[in-house]
Chain A
Amino acid sequence: MAGITLDKVRHSYGPKPTNDEDWALKEVSLDFADGGAYALLGPSGCGKTTLLNLVSGLLRPTEGTILFDGLDVTDATPEARNIAQVFQFPVIYDTMTVYDNLAFPLRNRGVTGPDIDRRVREIASMLELDGMLTKRASGLTADGKQKISLGRGLVRSDVNVIMFDEPLTVIDPHLKWVLRSKLKELHSRIRRTMIYVTHDQTEALTFADRVVVMQDGEVVQIGTPVELFEKPQHTFVGHFIGSPGMNVLPCSVEDGVAIFAGHRVETINAAGYRGGAGHVELGVRPEFVTLADEGIPVEVIKVSDAGRYRIVETAGAGEIIKLLLPEEDAVPEGTAHVRFDPAHSQIYENGWMVNGAAS
């Protein structure tokens, strides 16, 4: 068990990184608290797998240090770091039985017979694999194989962290849900640090206590699912999380009030804004946009049904504004007015939330 600290870690796959593009992972400093459930969330190619492999020790960072409980492990092998990792595609040892697969990491570390047996049976019952211990692992279904991969991580009682690299990619949709709840349940049972890499926001938000959102090799925000939803620190987070994503509208600021299309919009953070050279935008989630009798005039373009609510797409001042409408409300047509909730509207400068760090 260990808290993990990344201190000014940078990584490049090329030998001589010169410009910004060469870095697969730009400078990252962050802490994973002991026993926490974390998710690394971001689109493909954003550097999340790189970050994961740096923590596990499969990669050595080009710059920076990695600490486990304050101990420098930057040059330590994955074995020495005592971590477990579950990969995107299930890795099993084809010729071994399920039992031998689970026992393999213990045998490699010289654990003796009775201890191996006890641990293997305990983990097998936890993962509901106990009925098939004597079967050859190669005959199992994809989710069974992924359970074995997971089991090989859990079987060592002293691992510092268990890492998951998009582990549900090859699993059937109806089993994804089952395995995800299993993971969550396991975490609350064994309280081991877990880091889960995914590009699926549902997986990240349901699994993790804290989510690390990444883009282009950078960490853009770390927060609880609620924080990411209510106070996205970057327009990217607003876009990437939520369905549909946050409305991002160009605006200006005068006397501490945001002006969009000639209308004054109250926000949480424009009051202290002194102005700068940056490009200013207004962000408000569709959940916090309502139809009103007066306000910003818009044209209703499209209404789509999403079950318990409707997604209404409107156009105002040349911008698309989306809002959510409860299903019992009447479907608007033609021209309408929209209003933004002041408590959930914020301004961004060059993509970053103004005064974001303070909140």
Chain B
Amino acid sequence: MKKIDNNKAWWFVAPVVLLVAFNAVIPLMTVVNFSVQETFGDNVFFWAGVQWFEDVLRSERFHAALFRQVMFTGLVLLIEIPLGLLIALAMPRKGPWVSVCLVMMALPLLIPWNVVGAMWNIFALPDIGLLGRMINGLGIDYNYTRQPIGAWFTVVLMDVWHWTSLVVLLCYAGLVSIPDAYYQAAKVDGARPWAVFRYIQLPKLKYVLTIAILLRFMDSFMIYTEVVGLTGGGPGNSTTFLSIDLVKIALGQFDLGPAGAMSIIYFLIILLMSWLFYTLMMRGEDR
């Protein structure tokens, strides 16, 4: 068969190319621009090559922030994914309580990030906050503004409160879409509840769990607003995650070169991790 060359189709792609160029590629290029140059103001730039990249990758400060970030994201995923799955499994499948549960679950997701930060800031204060007073009332010395452990505990708890719902809703949607026949067949085959979970529910939830983990990974790896509202990155640097550190470097110290290099490294880490995870999960699924 003779192949017909018809390149008119490109015109249909052009609007998307333009859109992506303006909202992603061009802004990214300005960052690339900063990352390879040095400036002393007045819009005068000097070529710096990969100097800033080397500096960032060797910097103790970057290592520490990256370590805190990985710890935070790991912790958040370890808690939110199993907890979300458990709550979804426990939710009713039919009846009037379904909508009540769904609305309750959706509520935290509707609250703006900075409001969440401010809410928890007050909620956890040891002298006037409900949570802070309660914990101290139990005889535990808790003050998130002074103790790194207390700050971590509060930040993780806040994130779990804010985002577990997303995992619940995704898993719930996945669970209700499993046809009844699977459960009936399992009953006929004499499967115990654990086997039903292991061989029916979990495999059927594979895709929604992949999406849930990806979303929670990306969001928690980029977390900024809530933590700034709650601890401002402190006490000391104990809750200064990558994004908070980046803003400090870029807008606090006005080190545009290192900040540009760090942005690109940050972006590449997220991209690489997401790609690796997705490829691993989808292995052998191309039938």
Contact = CB atoms under 8 A, between A and B. Distances in A.
Nearest to A80: B190
Which of B190, B195, B200 is the most central at the interface, judged by chain A CB atoms within 10 Å of its CB?
B190
A229 interface: no
Interface in A83-110: 83-85, 87-89, 91, 93-96, 104-105, 108-109
B192 interface: yes
Interface of B: 179, 181-182, 184-185, 187-192, 195, 199-200, 203-204, 287
A108 B190 contact: yes
A103 B192 CA distance: 15
A63 to B, nearest CB: 22
A87 B181 CA distance: 7
Given A58-B184, A77-B187, A85-B188, 5 more contacts: A79-B190, A84-B188, A95-B199, A104-B199, A153-B188
Interface of A: 53, 56, 58, 77-79, 83-85, 87-89, 91, 93-96, 104-105, 108-109, 138-139, 149, 152-153
A152 B181 contact: no
**7 closest cross-chain pairs (CB), A and B:** A108-B190, A91-B185, A87-B181, A105-B189, A79-B190, A93-B199, A95-B203
B181 A91 contact: yes
A85 B181 CA distance: 10
A79 B191 CA distance: 9
A167 to B, nearest CB: 11
Nearest to B179: A89
A104 B199 CA distance: 10
A78 B186 CA distance: 10
A87 B199 CA distance: 18
B191 A108 contact: yes
Contact of A88 (B181, B189, B190, B195): B181
A83 B195 CA distance: 19
A91 B187 contact: no
Contacts of B200: 93
A289 B182 CA distance: 49
B188 A93 contact: no
A87 B186 CA distance: 12
B192 A108 contact: yes
B188 A79 contact: yes
A138 B284 CA distance: 11
Nearest to A95: B203
Given A94-B203, A96-B199, A139-B287, A89 B181 contact: yes
19 contacts: A53-B184, A77-B187, A78-B188, A79-B190, A84-B188, A87-B181, A87-B185, A91-B181, A91-B184, A93-B199, A93-B203, A95-B199, A95-B203, A105-B190, A108-B189, A108-B195, A109-B190, A138-B287, A153-B188
Which of A79, A84, A93 is the most central at the interface, judged by chain B CB atoms within 10 Å of its CB?
A93
Contact of A104 (B179, B187, B191): B191
A105 B190 CA distance: 6
A77 B182 CA distance: 16
Contacts of B187: 58, 77-79
Contacts of B199: 93, 95-96, 104
Contacts of A83: 188
Which of A53, A58, A77 is the most central at the interface, judged by chain B CB atoms within 10 Å of its CB?
A58
A104 B200 CA distance: 12
A324 B192 CA distance: 57
Contacts of B181: 87-89, 91
B178 to A, nearest CB: 11
B261 to A, nearest CB: 44
A49 to B, nearest CB: 11
Nearest to B204: A94
A104 B189 contact: yes
A83 to B, nearest CB: 7
A130 to B, nearest CB: 21
Which of A56, A79, A109, A153 is the most central at the interface, judged by chain B CB atoms within 10 Å of its CB?
A79
Given A87-B184, A96-B199, A152 B287 contact: no
A84 B184 CA distance: 11
A58 B189 CA distance: 12
Contacts of A152: 185, 189
Nearest to A89: B181
Contacts of B195: 108
A109 B181 CA distance: 20
Nearest to B284: A136
A2 B32 CA distance: 77
A256 B106 CA distance: 75
B175 to A, nearest CB: 15
